[in-house]
Chain A
Amino acid sequence: MAAGEDVTREDVLPIIASPKYQLINVYRDGLTYLSPVTKEVDPIMVFEFLHRFSDIMLEYFGQVSETVIKENFVTVYQLLEEMMDDGFPLTTEPNALKEIVPAPNILSKVITTMGATTSVSTRKMPHGMSNLPWRKAGVKYTSNEIFFDIVEEIDAIVDSTGKAVSCEAHGTIQTNSRLSGMPDLTLSFVNPRLVDDCSFHPSVRFNKWESDKVLSFVPPDGHFRLMSYRVNLPSQQNLPVQVKPSFNIGANGAKFDITVSLRNTDGKPLENVVLTLPLQKSTASLTATCNVGQYMFDPVGKVLRWDIGKILPRERAPVISGSFGLGASSDATVNSGFNIGLEFLINSHSLSGLKVDVLKLFNEGYKPYKGVRTMTKAGRYQVRA
């Protein structure tokens, strides 16, 4: 495992083949995870493991970076040791791993340092695994709560007339469970038929979903992704936002103006709106004015980035207009199009309309507090001009 970065790192093949070896590499958070392979193996299994390892580090240390790995290298070593045995994945469930390799946290450090010399040896041995590998045994909370975050991302390609060429929503239900004992939960939705295709955390009972369209599961402790799903949206779907670009290309420059207007957000504001416009490499200069937010032109990467911020419904639509000059070698540009990227976020809104109905708890006596949040974000949102 080595850290490194390269300008064109994104374009490096995930499997680099040589006659004898294959280098399976994963690029994530600015780090490269490398796994050399000498014989036939299902490559996705390796990718899946490397990503799982990265997930686990994230779970343990809160963030993953070169410094974090250096600061926790002993823990990282122990994790690798437990997760992989002779080239085969062994224990990959965070709850089970935490039984074997304690996660570094301030409290346990304070205790061990205060207790100084004696307590290290008498530290309680982990007592064993629970029946369910994804759930720790003997969990106790004073207040029992469980939070569901339904996050949907819109992937869309919109053509210059504002029509969606392709459009779909991907949702995940991120869960934070703080429940005591061995709770057995059943979560039902108001409109489960919306879900086109989905995948579950291993704790979810497949057949219950098949038969009743409810999620029946014993949750792991802490954070986990309960479910991810895909919703096919009709191509006439009213997207929450419309981008109207217009480009007027002349001999050695071009004029443009782009309007972003709200549509169909249930009266909710659009937040953190950022529009990016990559321009030709031959672009020399750019001047623009915008009525909302501020813009920045990166003269090296040739990218215009317009930070719009918040767009409230029934407010004047943000517009940016300006012109840019093209350098001498503008041969191919005459014909080429522009691809506008858009980021945004809508709180308490789900594009698909998926809603949680009831959460039932069995096997434990308490009444848990249930929190549900929804959010819609732009995923891979691209507007062609």
Chain B
Amino acid sequence: MYNMDAYLKTLTSNAVKLSKKMQDNLAEGTRDFRFENQAHFLDTNEDKMREIRKNLDSKYEKEKLDGLKRLIAMISKGRDVSEFFPDVVKNVASNSLEVRKLVYIYILRYAEQEQDLALLSINTFQKDLSDKNQLIRAMALRVMSGIRVPVISPIVMLGIKKCVTDLSPYVRKIAAHAIPKCYQLDPAQKDALIDIISTMLGDNSTYTIGSVIMAFNQVCPDRLDLIHPQYRKLCKMLVDMDEWGQITAMDLLLRYSRTQFLNPIGKLSATPTTRVKKEKSNVKSFYSDDDSDVSHHSSRSSDSESDDENNSVDPDLAFLLKCALPLLQSRNSQVVLSVAKLYMHLAPAQDSYKIGRPLIRLLRTHREIQYVVLNNIVAIASQRPYVFDQFYQHFFVRSTDPAFIRNLKLDILTLIASESNITFILRELQEYVKSSNKDFVTQAIEAIGRCASNIPAMAESCLGGLLKLSYSKSDSVAAQSVVAIRRLLQQRPGDCIYMITQLTKALDEITESLARANIFWLVGQYCSQLSTVAPDVLRKAAKSFCSESESSKLQILTLGGKVVAQEGTSSKTINLLFQYVLNMARYDLDYNVRDRARFLRVLVYGEQKSKKISSGDHGQEVHEDEDHEEHEDQVEDVGGFEYNEKELKLSDHVKAILLSDKPAPVQENPSHGREQYKIGSMSLVLNRAVAGYEPLPDWPTTQPDPSVRRLAATMEAPGYMNDRTGFGSDSVYAQSRQGQSGGFGGSGNNGSRYGQTTAGPGAQSLDKFLESSEEETDSSDETDSDEDETSEEEDSSGEEETSEEEEDEDEEEEEDDGDKDEGSSSEEEAILPPSSKRSNSRR
């Protein structure tokens, strides 16, 4: 009984103690809980700072964590907390992964400043490299390679070498990432690192290979010879790599292909496949004639003929393009753009229509991406407008588009305008003129002008539209339309007279100086055909001369000069008018106007008259004028005159000087020049070569040896590399499933995303690879024998169709076998690192 009592007593006291302890814990816990919000760490007063050191020395992980979090907070606020380095380094071997991760962040940040102390941590990392958890191994190598202390480069090198043969593809991936870091640390290691890269290129894990290629691009981008044996394998693996790996891989394959294959692109006009494109090319050649660029054009067409002959695409290159095509459906915009890059720079021109649709899709994503994609579309459309001409609706401007998007869209609309879509585009552009944003209106009118000059057939209606706009009550609209009309008329002298007469009628209403100046110039230039209108315009202009703007005054003077030159000095009225204008200009406030007046006076009336008027030094004056003249675009060529003051009477030549034919302005798209840069590059967006920009290598003129890519058939990758784990290659888990459930035919095939892309050993020949999927349907569950079979398989014709069907059957089988499969791949499988799983399936 006593025992019982005592027992009860201790029990109650224990219970009390326990509950008290629980309460304490709870109280503390809830206090912490309230603070779980990490923001309070950002409070950095001095008291708290002092606590940090204490926290870091604490034996409790939780306090250490608090201290570290406070440190990270300091870093984020830009404070230098390197003084805590010794205290932090002590915790590098902490048992808590959470503590360690924060320590790593800290070390990576300050190791460069505290090199000696940083060395203290190296031992731990080296030990961690042999940890059984792949994440720990990977993390150790990441931090070690990230510490920028040159002394440790040999140790990093050893670490890389160790991890390169790691069974876990994740660790190998990290090892690949460490290579460029090690190279930066100690460039002398380059050769050894290249050796490592060359081995790692044989890796068959889609998880790893992207990072290996990244390392390759960083360390030895020129060693393309290392790619030869891996080329086909890389193409094949492309679809299963992770998004970022796909991007780097396509970069590499682009560079590789540009050096190893003959140019298959063909010329723009050489698109014999479809009739529509044929028409396009006709349009193109039609207006390239118009540009009086006949020589260029003829050379182009002869080029295209010769191209047609050797326009065959190397099978290896065709394979790459085929492998890249499905990536157009990636969710990652850069992947899509990289495929577009491949197709623009590698594929025959007639294939480029494939990239149109996906690029249009990207326009629906974030505005920043939209901006870059539009820039690239400009570059593509300026070379191959037919890629986008059916998508014109997608480039219509929305009222909510920011300015930079708006302008790009206008550029694209003018570039892709063709006879089939021009009516819609023009209607749309006229809609934009209604906008209340002046800049936008200006751009839209310019765009109408550009459309008209690109498509001569439509120029008529464009001009009509512009003329209507020039009556607009809005000054800026009127001004811009007159400018656009002027440009167009210069290209099409035939239509001039009627248009100019119309414009002069509007002169009274147009107040914008730019518009008036342009009309004056037009009248002057074509005054020979406007013998009745021109003098009248001059009369009106003389009347309003004082109230005109500077640019208009200059143009009125020129107009006067031209009319006089045309009519000769005989017509008294005109002469008087001109002299009136000259006299007005002589006392103008603006020196440019005064200069121009003096110049024209001497030019038209010769020196005698000017002597009377101006008492200055003629030689100098004429000389000045000569300079002046060169600056003005009005007079085209002065160099032809043998300048001799004594003998030459300029006035004899005045008609030739003033009324010579002016070259029509070439209207260039504002974004002209982008097409010379690589699609997708920063340089293209900025339209200038950015530091580090490498232009694409030129195509070779003779075919390099294609057999180099076949060498790989004999090469066998080390066992650990044939691990097929990784992005996309679900085949692996399908295989392991197979191993467990006794196997049903072809599940290895079923898993692979791209039927035939099941990674084989090394690389096989094209044909073999196409069949490999079929072979695998018969293969046993042993990976190795499976591989051997595929590589030894004979060449029979590909039968993808059947393999596809079998795949479907398999799936149904699977459904039946569902119960049998259950759980086989879930827990147990996944918990094991992939490496050990592989050994399972091997057994």
Q: How far is the CB of A192 from chain B (nearest CB, A)?
A: 14
Residue in A44, A74, A90, A281 whose beta carbon sits within 8 Å of that of B680 in the complex: A44
CA–CA, A78 and B730, complex, Å: 29
A200 located at the interface, meaning its Cβ lies under 8 Å from any Cβ of chain B in the complex: yes
B275 within 8 Å of A (CB atoms): no
Chain-A contact segment, one of B495-503, B649-657, B681-689:
B681-689
Cα distance A206–B174 in the bound complex, in angstroms: 28
Once bound together, how far apart are the Cα atoms of A228 and B336, in whole Å?
14
Query: What are the residues of chain B within 8 A of A28 when measuring CB–CB?
Result: 366
Q: B672 near A: Cβ within 8 Å?
A: no
Q: How distant is the Cα of A187 from the Cα of B524 in the complex, in angstroms? A: 72
Cβ A157 vs Cβ B396 within 8 A: yes
Chain B proximity of A377: nearest CB distance (Å): 13
Docked complex Cα distance between A171 and B29 (Å): 47
Q: Knowing A44-B680, A117-B60, A341-B400 touch, does A365 contact B135 (C-beta < 8 A)?
A: no
Contact indicator per residue, chain B 306-348, by CB within 8 Å of chain A (1) or not (0): 0000000000000000000010011111101110000000000
Q: Is A20 on the interface with B (CB-CB < 8 A)?
A: yes
Q: Closest CB-CB distance, A35 to chain B, in whole Å?
A: 11
Instruction: State whether A45 touches B366 (Cβ < 8 A).
Output: no
Task: Assess A165 versus B396: contact at CB under 8 Å? Given A114-B26, A128-B831, A138-B827.
Answer: yes
A125 with B133: CB separation less than 8 A:
yes
Task: Decide: B474 and A332 in contact? CB cutoff 8 A.
Answer: yes
Please report the C-alpha to C-alpha distance between residue A198 and residue B65 in the assembled complex, in whole angstroms: 46
Contact pattern, B 81-120, Cβ under 8 Å of A = 1, otherwise 0 = 0000000000000111110011011000000000000000
What per-residue 1/0 map shows which CB atoms of B52-83 lie under 8 Å from chain A? 00000000111001000100110010000000
Nearest-Cβ distance from residue A45 to partner chain B, whole angstroms? 4
The answer to whether the Cβ of A298 comes within 8 Å of any Cβ in the partner chain is no
Q: If A14-B368, A42-B247 touch, does A138 touch B474 (CB 8 Å cutoff)?
A: no
CB atoms of A81 and B105 under 8 A apart: yes
Q: Which residues of B contact A278 (CB under 8 A)?
A: 399
| Docked complex: B646-693 residues within 8 A CB-CB of A | 680-683, 685-686, 690-693
Assess whether B244 is interfacial by the CB under 8 Å rule. Answer: yes
A5 at the interface (CB under 8 A from B): no
The answer, yes or no, to whether B607 is at the interface (CB within 8 Å) is no
Point out the residues of chain A lying under 8 angstroms from B239, CB to CB: 206
Interface residue from B32, B373, B434, B473 paired with A44 (Cβ < 8 Å): B373
- Which residues of B lie under 8 Å from residue A42 when comparing CB positions? 247, 334, 337-338, 680-682
Q: Which residues of B contact A44 (CB under 8 A)?
A: 333-334, 337, 369, 372-373, 680
Q: How far is the CA of A257 from the CA of B541 in the complex (A)?
A: 47
Write the nearest CB–CB distance from A170 to chain B, whole angstroms: 5
Task: Classify chain A: how many residues form its interface, as a range.
Answer: 35 or more
CB nearest neighbor in B for A136: B830
Q: Does B224 make an interface contact (CB < 8 A)? A: no
Indicate whether B37 reaches chain A with its CB closer than 8 angstroms.
yes
Q: Are B247 and A181 in contact (CB under 8 A)?
A: no
In the bound complex, residues from chain A placing their C-beta under 8 Å from that of B25 are 114, 116
- Of residues A15, A113, A230, which shows the largest number of chain B Cβ atoms within 10 Å of its Cβ? A113
In the complex, chain A residues 1-28 whose Cβ is within 8 Å of any chain B Cβ? 10-11, 13-15, 17, 20, 22, 24-28
For A299-327 the 0/1 string (1 means CB < 8 A from B) is: 00000000000000000000000000000
**With the chains together, A131 CA to B142 CA distance in Å?**
21
Of the residues B61, B474, B690, B833, contact of A117 by C-beta under 8 Å: B61
Decide if B133 touches A47 in the complex (CB within 8 Å): no
- The distance in angstroms between the C-alpha atoms of A197 and B180, with both chains bound, is 38
User: Shortest distance in angstroms between A381's beta carbon and chain B's nearest beta carbon?
Assistant: 10
Q: Is A121 in the interface zone, CB < 8 Å from B? A: yes
Question: What chain A residues lie within 8 Å of B837 (beta carbons)?
Answer: 131
Bound-state Cα–Cα, A121 to B438, Å: 66
> Least Cβ distance of A370 to chain B in Å?
16
What residues of A have a CB within 8 angstroms of the CB of B244 in the complex?
45, 88-89, 92
Within 8 A of A (CB), among B714-773: 725-728, 730, 732-733, 737, 752-755
Q: How far is the CA of A17 from the CA of B242 in the complex (A)?
A: 30
Minimal Cβ-Cβ distance residue in A for B104: A81
Residues of A within 8 A of B360 (CB): 197, 230
| Complex: chain A residue closest to B431, CB-CB | A384
- Pairwise interchain contact A199-B366, C-beta atoms closer than 8 A: no
Please count the residue pairs between chain A and chain B whose beta carbons lie under 8 angstroms apart in the complex: 334
> A40 contacts which of B94, B692, B830, B833 (Cβ < 8 Å)?
B692
Q: Which of B358-380 contact A (CB under 8 A)?
A: 358, 360-361, 364, 366-369, 371-373
Q: In the assembled complex, which residues on chain B have CB atoms less than 8 Å from the CB atom of A78?
A: 101-102, 105
Which residues does chain A contribute within 8 Å of B181, judged by CB atoms?
Answer: 86
| Residue from the list B38, B142, B403, B829 in contact with A74, Cβ < 8 A | B38
- Render A334-352 as a binary contact track against B, CB cut-off 8 A, 1 for contact: 1111010100000000000
**A292 CB contacts on chain B under 8 angstroms:** none
Chain B residues near A126 (CB, 8 Å)? 97, 133, 135
The CB with the most chain B CB atoms within 10 A, among A14, A43, A85, is that of A43
A70–B337 Cα gap in the complex (Å)? 35
**Most A-side CB within 10 Å, residue of B367, B369, B399, B814:** B399
Q: Does A266 contact B (CB under 8 A)?
A: no
For B335, give the chain A residue with the smallest CB separation: A48
Which among A130, A197, A364 is the interface contact of B822 at CB below 8 angstroms? Answer: A364
Cα–Cα, bound, A189→B244 (Å) = 30
* A120-B434 in contact (CB<8A): no
Partner of B95, one of A43, A51, A81, A121: A121
Is A98 close to B, CB under 8 A? no
Interface string of A217-261 (1 = CB under 8 A from B): 010000001001010000000000000000000000000000000
Say if the beta carbon of A132 comes within 8 Å of chain B: yes
Residues in A neighbouring B831, C-beta threshold 8 A: 127-128, 137-138
A210 within 8 A of B: yes
Given the known inter-chain contacts A128-B831, A199-B329, A225-B331, please indicate yes or no for A22 contacting B242, CB distance below 8 A: no
Cβ contacts under 8 Å, B822 to chain A: 181, 364-365
Closest to B73 in A: A73
Q: Which residues from A are CB-within-8-Å of B39?
A: 67, 70-71, 73
| Interface hits, B443-492 → A, CB 8 Å | 472-474, 477
Q: Is A131 touching B754 in the complex (CB atoms < 8 A)? A: no
Which residues in B have their C-beta under 8 angstroms from that of A336?
Answer: 434-436
Residues of B within 8 A of A268 (CB): none
In contact, A38 and B691 (Cβ under 8 angstroms): yes
Please name all residues of chain B whose beta carbon is closer than 8 Å to the beta carbon of A73 when the two chains form the complex.
Answer: 38-39, 41-42, 72-73, 76
A363 within 8 A of B: yes
Q: Is B134 on the interface with A (CB-CB < 8 A)?
A: yes
Q: In whole angstroms, what is the CA distance A92 to B334 when docked?
A: 15
Assess the A199–B361 pair: CB atoms within 8 A. yes
Contact of B686 among A15, A130, A362 (CB under 8 A): A15
A218 to B827 CA separation, bound complex (whole angstroms): 15
Q: Is B815 an interface residue (CB 8 A)?
A: yes
In this assembly, does A58 line the interface, its C-beta being within 8 Å of a C-beta of chain B? no
Given A125-B97, A207-B754 in contact, is the A365-B818 Cβ separation under 8 Å?
A: yes
Q: Mark A49-65, 1 if CB is under 8 A from B, else 0.
A: 00100000000000000
Q: 14 interchain pairs (CB within 8 A)?
A: A11-B402, A14-B368, A14-B371, A38-B691, A40-B683, A74-B41, A104-B36, A133-B242, A137-B831, A140-B827, A197-B360, A198-B329, A206-B753, A365-B822
Binding site for B on A (CB under 8 A): 10-11, 13-15, 17, 20, 22, 24-28, 37-45, 47-48, 51, 67, 70-75, 77-78, 81, 85-86, 88-90, 92, 100, 104, 109-110, 113-114, 116-117, 120-121, 123, 125-133, 137-140, 155, 157, 159, 165-166, 168, 170, 180-182, 184, 186, 196-202, 204-207, 209-212, 218, 225, 228, 230, 278, 280-281, 331-337, 339, 341, 360, 362-365, 380, 382, 384
Add 9 more A-B contacts to A15-B371, A133-B726 (CB < 8 A). A15-B682, A28-B366, A47-B333, A110-B33, A126-B133, A157-B398, A206-B753, A207-B326, A281-B436
Smallest CB-CB A-B distances: 7 pairs: A137-B830, A39-B692, A181-B826, A365-B822, A339-B399, A166-B393, A14-B368
